[in-house]
Amino acid sequence: MSPEQLSIDIKHLQASLAELARIGSLPSGGVCRLAFSPEDKAGRELVASRMHALGLSVHVDGIGNIMGVREGREAGPVVLTGSHIDTVATGGVLDGSLGVVAALEAVAALNEAGVKTRLPVGVISFANEEGARFMPDMMGSLFLRGDLTMEDLRPIAGIDGTMLGDDLDQYGMSGNANLSSFGFHSFVELHIEQGPILERENKSIGVVEGVQGIKWIEFRIEGSTAHAGTTPIELRRDAGYVAGAAVEFVRSLATEIENQRATVGSLTLSPNLVNVVAEEARFTVDLRNPDAKRLLHAEKKLLEFAEAKAAAEGVGMEHRSRADVAPVEFDPQIIALIEAKAESLGYASRRIISGAGHDAQIMADVCPTAMIFVPSRGGISHNIQEYTAARDIEAGANVLLHTLLALAQSE
Ligand code: HGY
Ligand code: MN
Ligand code: MN
């Protein structure tokens, strides 16, 4: 069989996805495999065992990124692919996992056909892409790129109060490989769109041109408890009221600034009692925009609003950045290659910008990088109803296989 005729074994891919989905599976469907949890550990062990079974040399770094490398005819820079297997608490079975499992199936197809590529091909499962339990997101790729060190990461407290370093040690997820020393020729990530565009336009393939920027800001408001019945409004220092006003303002940012997304996803009051004015409010704001200037403007307006509201209510207010990733544009040549492979394989495609953050957003500064999207039913993700039709999964995995082949054979 000529390399051009290679194709993915979709049945085996689906069986592998199902096997991974059983780890951390939720009773109502979906998956919870929070980073550095026992479920995450079990998922990594499954991925590493699959890498060994495919004859890859397996390397684990300090934060627990796992990379399997398939030798090429030459010992050159690695053509890398992969994604993440950690999930949010209400995760679907595809977010991240599809990119790792499809990458392993692409290697299986190369093995099956006895194809020896010129350059080595690598499969990576990045640690803690979601950042849902330990912020920031894209932690594994930020570590690989050198933005974060183990000294930065080990002391990070999770939303459940655990320390990242303790979990790493307890579950033995750390290795001592230096993945950057391999050198990377290129990085291509297959991922679900997690939005409605491809499905609406009946396209199987999204040729991703870039990713919007992300800012996560954590707020702590400090007021004082008071009796809900007896305390007149003018005597209150109500942290809950200020937090509520901020939630309203965050929505106005999304409606007033072009292409702006703004979300308050977590909000806790204390003492959180029906008849006590809240003395503390903690909440996070997730701001996204494809335009760096608009993103900065949104952040500035938010901080100005929060400061003024806190002053007017006489409460204390602290905030800190928990993630700050610039918008990126992917490599035009790899974008064109993905588009050409989709075309030659007969799949309808369109170019698209990613609304969700991805490790590829970080890798874009390490080597020429791009992404392949497949449609999400109803645009749903970070939700147990997440679903992509088998024909689209097969399309995405085949485009990935042939893109990798072209990159790894390229002179
Ligand atoms: O938050 C994101 O966009 C990604 O799912 N980590
Ligand atoms: Mn993801
Ligand atoms: Mn996600």
pLDDT per residue, tens digit, the chain (411 aa), is 777 789 999 999 999 999 999 999 999 999 999 999 999 999 999 999 999 999 999 999 999 999 999 999 999 999 999 999 999 999 999 999 999 999 999 999 999 999 999 999 999 999 999 999 999 999 999 999 999 999 999 999 999 999 999 999 999 899 999 999 999 999 999 999 999 999 999 999 999 999 999 999 999 999 999 999 999 999 999 999 999 999 999 999 999 999 999 999 999 999 999 999 999 999 999 999 999 999 999 999 999 999 999 999 999 999 999 999 999 999 999 999 999 999 999 999 999 999 999 999 999 999 999 999 999 999 999 999 999 999 999 999 999 999 999 999 976
Torsion, Cα 362 340 103 182, to 10 degrees, reads -50
Nearest ligand by distance to the CA of 265 = 1
Residue nearest (by alpha carbon) to ligand 1 atom 1:
357
Q: From CA 22, how far away is CA 44, in angstroms rounded?
A: 13
Are 213 and 325 within 8 A, CB to CB?
yes
Does the beta carbon of 356 sit less than 6 angstroms from any atom of ligand 1? Answer: yes
Q: Tell me, what's the pLDDT at 303?
A: 98
Q: Tell me, what's the pLDDT at 411?
A: 63
Q: Token pair 């042939």 is at which residue?
A: 402
Q: From CA 39, how far away is CA 42, in angstroms rounded?
A: 5
Does the beta carbon of 359 sit less than 6 angstroms from any atom of ligand 1? Answer: no
Residue type, 174: S
Output DSSP code: residue 207: E
Q: Tell me, what's the pLDDT at 3?
A: 75
Nearest atom of ligand 1 to the alpha carbon of 357: 3
Nearest atom of ligand 1 to the alpha carbon of 129: 6
Distance 3 CA to ligand 3 centre (A): 33
Output DSSP code: residue 127: S
Does the beta carbon of 137 sit less than 6 angstroms from any atom of ligand 1? Answer: yes
- Of the candidates 249, 388, 259, 360, which has an alpha carbon nearest to the alpha carbon of residue 307? 249
Nearest atom of ligand 1 to the alpha carbon of 131: 6
Report in angstroms the alpha-carbon separations of 147 from 64, 175, 292, 319, 363. 16, 18, 19, 22, 11
Distance 324 CA to ligand 1 centre (A): 12
Q: From CA 377, how far away is CA 397, in angstroms rounded?
A: 17
Q: What are phi and psi of 340, to 5 degrees?
A: -65, -40
Crossing angle between the packed helical segments 164-171 and 38-53, to the nearest 10 degrees: 50
Q: Which residues of 185-210 are buried (b: 16+ CB within 10 A; e: fewer)?
A: bbbbbbbbbbbebbbeeebbbbbbbb
Cis peptide bond N-terminal to 120, omega within 30: no
Q: Tell me, what's the pLDDT at 294?
A: 98
pLDDT tens column, 223-241: 999 999 999 999 999 999 9
Q: Tell me, what's the pLDDT at 2?
A: 75
Nearest atom of ligand 1 to the alpha carbon of 194: 5
Does the beta carbon of 223 sit less than 6 angstroms from any atom of ligand 1? Answer: no
Tally the C-alpha atoms within 13 A of residue 390's C-alpha that lie toward its C-beta: 10
Distance 130 CA to ligand 1 centre (A): 5
Distance 382 CA to ligand 3 centre (A): 6
Output DSSP code: residue 147: S
Q: Tell me, what's the pLDDT at 137?
A: 97
Strand partners, 41: none
Are 67 and 124 within 8 A, CB to CB?
yes
